[in-house]
Amino acid sequence: MMQRVSTRWIALLVLVALILPNVITLAQDNVVTIEWWTVNSEEYSEEAQRGLAAQFEATHPNIRVNVTVLPESGFDERMTTTLGAGEGAPDVAFFWNTNWYPQALDLTPYIEADPDLGPETYFENFWLTRAVWQDKIVGLPLGVGANFVMYNKAVFDEAGVEYPTADWTTDDYLEMAAALADPDQRRWGGDRPRGPFRAIWRNYGAFPYSDDSTTVDGFLNSDASVAAYTWLWDLVASGATPTPADLEILGTEGTGPIDLFLAGRLAMATLNQGHMLNAIDAGVEFGIVPEPQVEGNERYVNAWSLTASIWSGTQHPDEAYEFLSYWVGPEGQRYLMENGNLFPSIPEVLAEYENAETDYAQAFFSVLEYRQVAEWTNAHPCNSTVLRAAVDAWDLINLGEIERDQVEATLDGLVEPSQAALDECVARLGG
Amino acid sequence: MNRETEITFKESAAAAARTARRADLGHSARQWLGYAAAYGFMTVLALLFMIPLLWMFSTSLKSRQEIFAWPPDWIPTSPQWFNYASAFEKYPLARFMLNSAFLVIANTIGELISVPLIAFAFARLRFPGKRILFVLMLSTMMLPGQIKLIPLFSMFSRLKMIGTYWPLILPSFFGNPFFIFLMVQYIRTIPRELDEAARMDGASTWTILYRIILPLSRPAITVLVVFTFLWTWNDFLQPLIYLSSFDSYPISVGLAFFQGRYSVEWNLFMAATLISIIPVLVLYFFAQRHLIGGISSLGLKG
Amino acid sequence: MFSTWRALSPRARREALEAYLALTPWIIGFLIFTVFPIGASIYLGFTQWTIVEPPEWIGLDNYVRMFTRDPLFWQALKVTGLFVLISLPLKLILGLMLALLLNLKIPGMNLYRTVFYIPAVISGVAVSLMWMWLLQPDTGVVNTLLSYIGVKGPNWFWDRHWALPSVAIMSAWKVGGSAIIYLAGLQNISAHLYEAAEIDGANPWHRFWKITLPLLTPTIFFQLIIELIDSFKVFTEAFVITQGGPLKSTYFYMLYFYEEAFQNFNMGYASALALLLTSIILATTVFINYTSKRWVYYES
């Protein structure tokens, strides 16, 4: 009986194999097909991007664009696998991980020959952090994003606290957070940073190691760094900020506690322009200020743009550039702004944003002018390795396991393992 | 089924009837008490196991603001049933599930063809090199899957199989070591007298496998089918790496689209997740009666 | 091997040939899907490979680094070993207990079996969020219930001593999956044996120790090996919930491997890490297999 059944299964299998979707399409001789990988996100939906590709194809009859839309959470694994295999990578895609840059085609000759597009087209600081790497142009920056503090006006009014202004300081932040917190309603004043050595650390003037990537001592445990960590200690001790448990549960996948903010349980939260649109949709009255400064120091912002690049293994670099410069050029970014939620990285196009005159848009645009945290981190690829070795200080403070005066000693104690991690990383990457 | 087993089957049925009668007479009060205790205990335990499902269900019916409200509500103030419709509208979930179903069927066929054959050889046949091959077979389970990703991708790429379902189906035809091991252990507990009696009657090795061993292995085969379904349904990484067209994605990849760059619409995400597990549970509900059977119902003297 | 072959009788040769024939699919699959990737990893383990540039041969340096100057490696090994010690017995015993319950011949059991299978079915982010919510220190369901009986619950995932047990509890909750395998194993125990024992006056407790447990040893052996492999490879929970913290108390081996491979693009070192893990599991399995002759009872 079993034998008869298995023959039937084999027959079924053969049948099934025959109807398998056949993805190999025979290209016409004069038409070049470009593989384009992208993700589906709040800024650009799958539909909008297909529309963009269709519009490009209409004006470029010799190029066909094959769109692969991947989920955000799997894009890295797929890119890494194909780049590692050295085959099957797309002609055009996001190269948003700096580790991939060595396999991005150098666009310098194309940019030099292009009359319409160049460094001056884009925001200068985004061009410098996201398009230029070593002496290459590795891609073009698509869209802009940044962290800033959003405050819930209703909660401020209820607590009788004045709204923050752009020139507020880290001390103001502590004070306001304490005044806004209300344990009875399980409401917190402000959130805590999601990692060390981001905007607030920079505002204190702190870096994890020396600019030439040789020394940790005197940087991780510098006065500036101790001051930043101590600020975190004060914030944690005040009880005005959600615990790590609450932030992780309610912080939606590490991108920011937007849901907690919308529910009115967090008066101030470090969020981004995507969350800003969520808040507008939800009808929450809010204002925007940059992350607090430290008087006398230069001010930084945690900002980003996505590097869109051409894979160096492409068979059709010219056509790939045609498409890339359309997608990330004024036309493409305008299309994605009008058919989605993209904030273009091109100042002239961004100025066309329909709500450009609103307070929130102006506040958002203004933080884009600050110096960027990424300026240093992108140029120092061992940053994450060193921070992993030094994570104990962060954990101990967040768990409330050390006293205020132990912060410095804790950082001193982490210098040695961090230095070892730095040396190993530098040796591997060849300086 | 041969005459011998038929006789023993009758015997065991008689034995079961005897047990039942004895129970009716002597132990009925105690047995009822036992039933009540078992039900009570199982119900409490089941409720504990159900908490996540109930919570997901409750979340799937809330509005975005209500999910994180304090204090949390188990029962949404006004259930948003249209969250389910929205989830389907947002992405082609039905299409994704159909693709998953295709992968499940193809993989099940593959495993059913390969696994019993391989397991039978390991469990019953004598051949030089058996121990080494068996350990090698086990060792393939120990290597972390991620390390194989890049070499396998290169290989399938050279075979021009990227963008097709082949890389997701083909391996099952060569036998999954987990199921091979499971079947080996299962077959080893089936009395050898059965094979030997059949061999005396002139049955070939293959007849013994397909006429005697396989029918008795129904519980193990059921486990194979249930787990193949579950693992194929939930596999995220492989379809992600090998598939290219949106319309060909399985549900595991489809669900990942609900997680955006900046936030997750938890209510829609939970609704979609709940819908996606229904087929797995339905299959299991109907398959699990086949978990019961095998030798215990035959009542052979071991 | 060939000398053994010559020593075989014609009948035994025939049997061996049939075995090789039956094994052909697996052998082909092994050569294609395993030998090639393992060979590649062994080679890469001796190189430094950043993925985007060609691998560079560095000999044994990856292994030397692992053992002599990598505190994270030892931390990951320690955490993972501890997890195996906690989680393995927990899952083996709970799975068996659940299977015995689900094997009761009472009406409505279909429904119960399905309910207990649910945790094994749901995967991914939804489950992680649910567990964080259940184990939230102040307001989570678990600590709320504990407070009713006057116990102050721990901080679970957010406590350096409790984070690892929390992950173990989370994985034990999925025990419905392994209960299915025990359930299948229980079907191979002849009802006659129980009957005979009952006539001899053995109570249920005796029947469990004298019949069920010994005859279930092949299944227990299977579960032991499988759960061992699974426990060594624990990853998702730490990746999604704890990111290895707090204070690296859940810094599992596979998490370290993943960070090296896919975040730091240190694929050569990651390959060496993977091979070492495979060797550890393999050695443990071979040892268990060796002891199995003493405690696993097969029919023949």
In A, residues 88-107, which contact B (CB 8 Å cutoff)? 88
Interface test with C, best of B12, B118, B124, B143 (most C CBs within 10 A): B143
Q: How many CB atoms lie within 10 A of CB A152?
A: 24
**Which of A63, B224, B133 has its CA nearest to residue C1?**
B133
Q: Give the DSSP letter string of C90-158.
A: HHHHHHHHHHHHHTS--TTHHHHHHHHHHHHH--SHHHHHHHHHHT-TTT-HHHHHHHHTT-----GGG
0.90 exceeded by pTM = no
C77/C73 Cα distance (integer angstroms): 6
Against chain B, the chains showing at least 3 CB pairs within 8 Å are A, C
- With CA atoms as reference, report the closest residue to B296 among C181, C191, C103: C191
Torsion of CA A96, A102, A103, A105, to 10 degrees: 90
3-state helix, strand, coil in chain C (%, to 5): 75, 0, 25
Determine the average pLDDT of the residues in B104-115: 96
Q: How far is B77 from chain A (nearest CA, A)?
A: 15
Helices (H), A270-382: 273-282, 317-327, 330-338, 347-350, 359-367, 373-379
- For residue B61, give every residue at least 6 positions away whose Cβ sits within 8 Å of its Cβ, in sequence order, or none: B76, B79, B80, B81, B83, B267
Q: Which residues contact A241 (CB under 8 A, 6 or more apart)?
A: A177, A188, A189, A190, A191, A192, A235
Q: In terms of domains, do A175 and A134 share one?
A: no
Size of interface A-C (CB pairs under 8 A): 74
Specify the range with the lowest mean pLDDT, choosing from B225-229, C125-129, C164-168: C125-129
- Segment B32-45 shows an average pLDDT of 85
Q: Residues 137..166 of B with a Cβ closer than 8 Å to A: which?
A: 149-151, 153-154, 157-158, 160, 162-166
Residue B1 has pLDDT above 50, yes or no: no
Six token digits for residue C220? 């227990």
What is the CA angle C254-C60-B136, rounded to 5?
Answer: 55
Domain C72-295 has CATH 1.10.3720.10: yes
Partner-chain contact A420 C69, CB within 8 Å: yes
B128: distance to nearest CA of chain C, Å? Answer: 7
B205 contact partners, CB below 8 Å, separation of at least 6: B125, C15, C18
What secondary structure letter does DSSP report for A32?
E
Residue of B62, B68, B264 for testing the chain A interface, max A β-carbons within 10 Å: B68
Half-sphere exposure of C256 (CA within 13 A, CB side): 27
Q: At what angle do helices C61-68 and C267-295 cross, to 10 degrees?
A: 70
A29 pLDDT above the threshold of 60: no
Q: Give residue B23's pLDDT band: very low, low, confident or very high (50, 70, 90).
A: very low
> Distance between CA atoms of C131 and A121, rounded to whole angstroms?
48
If asked whether residues A222 and A339 sit together in one domain, one would say no
Same domain? A230 vs A322 = no
Distance of CA B137 to the CA centre of its chain: 21
Contact A44, A81 (CB under 8 A): no
pLDDT at residue B12 in the model = 46
pLDDT at B27: 59
Q: How many CB atoms lie within 10 A of CB A24?
A: 8
Average pLDDT over residues C88-114: 89
Together in a domain, A104 and A221: no
- Picking from A243-257, A278-292, B91-105, C4-18, which range would have the lowest pLDDT averaged per residue? A243-257
Mean pLDDT across C5-23: 87
Look at residues A258, A251, A302, A265 and name the one whose alpha carbon lies nearest to residue A280. Answer: A258
- H/E element holding A303? strand A303-310
pLDDT at residue A353 greater than cutoff 90: yes
CA distance A250 to chain B (A): 7
Neighbour-count burial of A298, counting CB atoms closer than 10 A to its CB (0-12 exposed, 13-18 middle, 19+ buried): exposed
- Within B129-243, residue ranges assigned H as helices are 130-139, 145-158, 166-169, 177-188, 192-200, 205-207, 214-216, 218-234, 237-242
Burial class (CB in 10 A: 0-12, 13-18, 19+), A22: exposed
Q: Are A419 and A216 in contact (CB under 8 A)?
A: yes
Query: How far apart are the C-alpha atoms of A174 and B92, rounded to whole Å?
Result: 47
Determine the topology of domain B90-298 in CATH. Answer: MetI-like fold (1.10.3720)
What is the C-alpha separation between A365 and A313, in angstroms, rounded?
37
Q: Which SS3 state, helix, strand or coil, does residue A153 take?
A: helix
Q: Are C131 and C236 spatial neighbours (Cβ–Cβ below 8 Å)?
A: no
**Partner-chain contact B263 A258, CB within 8 Å:** yes
Per-chain mean pLDDT for chain A: 90
B234 and chain C in contact, CB less than 8 A: yes
Contacts with A427 from chain C: Cβ below 8 Å:
none
**Which one, of A276, A247, A273, lies nearest residue A262 by Cα?**
A276
Neighbours of chain A (3+ CB pairs under 8 A): B, C
What are the tens digits of pLDDT across the range B242-278? 998 999 999 999 998 988 777 778 889 889 999 999 9
Asked if C245's CB is within 8 angstroms of A395's CB, the reply is yes
Distance to chain C for A55, nearest Cα, Å: 33
Q: What pLDDT, on the 0 to 100 scale, is given for residue A11?
A: 59
* Residues A64, A189 within the same domain: no
- Chain A interface disruption, residue of B98, B99, B205, B261, most A CBs within 10 A: B261
What are the residues of chain A with a beta carbon less than 8 Å away from any beta carbon of chain C?
A: 76-77, 80, 83-84, 99-103, 186, 243-246, 248-249, 253, 384-385, 388-389, 391-392, 395-396, 398-399, 417, 420, 424-425, 428-429
pLDDT of residue A1: 40
Integer Cα distance of B249 and B240 in angstroms: 8
Q: List pLDDT tens digits, range A187-224.
A: 999 999 988 999 999 999 999 999 999 999 999 999 99
**Residue A7 CB contacts under 8 Å (≥ 6 apart), including other chains:** none
Tell which residue, B265, B263, B239, has the closest CA to residue B251. B239
Query: Mean per-residue pLDDT for A379-407?
Result: 93
The closest CB to that of A84, out of C51, C72, C248, belongs to C51
Q: Would you say B249 and B236 are in contact if contact means Cβ atoms under 8 Å apart?
A: no
Which residues neighbour A395 within 8 Å (Cβ) at sequence distance 6 or greater?
C245, C246, C247
Give mean pLDDT, residues C201-228.
89
Does B68 contact A at CB distance below 8 Å? yes
Res. A120: pLDDT tops 50: yes
The residue that leads in pLDDT, B69 or C107, is C107
pLDDT tens sequence across B65-83 = 777 776 777 788 888 899 9
Tell whether B42 lies on the interface with C, counting CB pairs under 8 A. yes
Q: Where are the domains of chain C?
A: 72-295
Q: How does strand A32-39 pair with strand A92-94?
A: parallel
Instruction: Using the predicted structure, report yes or no on whether residue B222 has a pLDDT greater than 50.
Output: yes
Q: Which helix (H) or strand (E) holds C217?
A: helix C213-232
Residue C187, pLDDT above cutoff 70: yes
Q: Tell me how far apart the alpha carbons of residues C127 and C131 are, in angstroms, rounded to a whole number.
A: 6
Helix (H, G, I), strand (E, B) or coil at A152: strand
**Contact between B70 and A68 using a beta-carbon 8 Å cutoff:** no
Residues A105 and A162 in one domain: no
Q: How far is A363 from chain B (nearest CA, A)?
A: 19
The residue type of C164 is L
User: How far apart are the C-alpha atoms of C32 and B166, rounded to whole Å?
Assistant: 14
CATH number at residue A368: 3.40.190.10
The chain A residue lying nearest B116, using CA atoms, is A2
Q: Which two tokens stand for residue A140?
A: 């073009």
> Could you tell me if B136 lies within 8 Å of chain C, comparing CB atoms?
yes
Task: Report the domain count for chain A.
Answer: 2
Same domain for A165 and A233, yes or no, is: yes
Instruction: Kindly list the residues from chain C whose CB atom is less than 8 angstroms away from the CB atom of residue B174.
Output: 25-26, 28-30, 32-33
pLDDT digit string, tens, across residues C25-77:
999 999 988 888 889 999 999 999 988 888 999 999 999 999 998 999 999 99
Q: What are the contacts of B47-54 at 24+ separation with CB within 8 A?
A: B49/C115, B49/C116, B49/C118, B49/C119, B49/C173, B49/C176, B50/C115, B50/C118, B51/C134, B51/C141, B52/C118, B52/C119, B52/C122, B52/C127, B52/C130, B52/C134, B53/B274, B53/C118, B53/C122
- pLDDT of B13 > 80? The answer is no
The per-residue pLDDT for A32 is 94
Torsional sign, CA A71, A76, A79, A82? negative
For chain C, state the CA radius of gyration.
24
A196 shares a domain with A279? yes
Q: Which of residues 8-37 of A touch B (CB under 8 A)?
A: 9-10, 12-13, 16, 20-24
Q: Does C11 touch chain B (CB under 8 A)?
A: no
Q: Where do the domains of chain B lie?
A: 90-298
Residue A22 maps to a domain: no
CB-CB under 8 Å, A68 with B244: yes
Kindly state the tokens that stand for B264. 């997750």
Cβ-defined contact of B257 to A40 (cutoff 8 Å): yes
Is C97 part of the contact surface with chain B (CB cutoff 8 Å)? no
Determine contact: B68 vs chain C, CB below 8 A. Answer: no
Report the helix count and the strand count for chain C, using DSSP H and E.
16, 2
Mean pLDDT within B127-146:
90
- Contact assignment for A100 to C52 by CB distance below 8 Å: yes
Q: What is the DSSP string of A50-115?
A: HHHHHHHHHH-TTEEEEEEEE-GGGHHHHHHHHHHHTSS--SEEE--SGGGGGGBPP-HHHHHH-S
Residue C278: pLDDT over 90:
yes
C-alpha–C-alpha distance, residues A257 and A337, integer Å: 25
Chain A nearest CA to C129, separation (Å): 6
Residue C131, amino acid = W
C-alpha distance from C101 to closest chain B C-alpha (Å): 8
- Residue A256 and residue A340 share a domain: no
> Which of B110, B165, B241 comes nearest A81 by C-beta?
B241
CB-based contact (8 Å) between B16 and chain C?
yes
| Percentage with pLDDT > 90 across chain A | 76
∠ at Cα C76 (C71, C77), nearest 5°?
100
> Cα(B10)–Cα(B300) distance, rounded to whole angstroms?
11
Does residue A263 share a domain with residue A194?
yes
Interface test mutation site (partner A, options B147, B172, B249, B263, max chain A beta carbons within 10 A): B263
* Structure confidence at residue A280 as a pLDDT band (50, 70, 90): very high
Identify the pLDDT of residue B300. Answer: 43
Q: Are residues A186 and A315 in the same domain?
A: no
Tokens at residue C179, please? 């209960």
| Chain B environment of A89 (Cβ under 8 Å) | none
Show the domain range for A154.
Answer: 146-302+378-429
Dist CA B290 CA B174 (whole Å): 25
Examine the domain organization and report whether A267 and A219 are in the same domain. yes
> What share of chain C has pLDDT > 70, as a percent?
98
Cα distance from A386 to chain C (closest Cα, Å)? 12
Nearest residue, CB atoms, A245 vs list C125, C136, C160: C136
pLDDT in tens, A60-84: 999 999 999 999 888 999 999 999 9
Q: Looking at beta carbons, which residues of chain A come within 8 Å of C137?
A: 243, 245
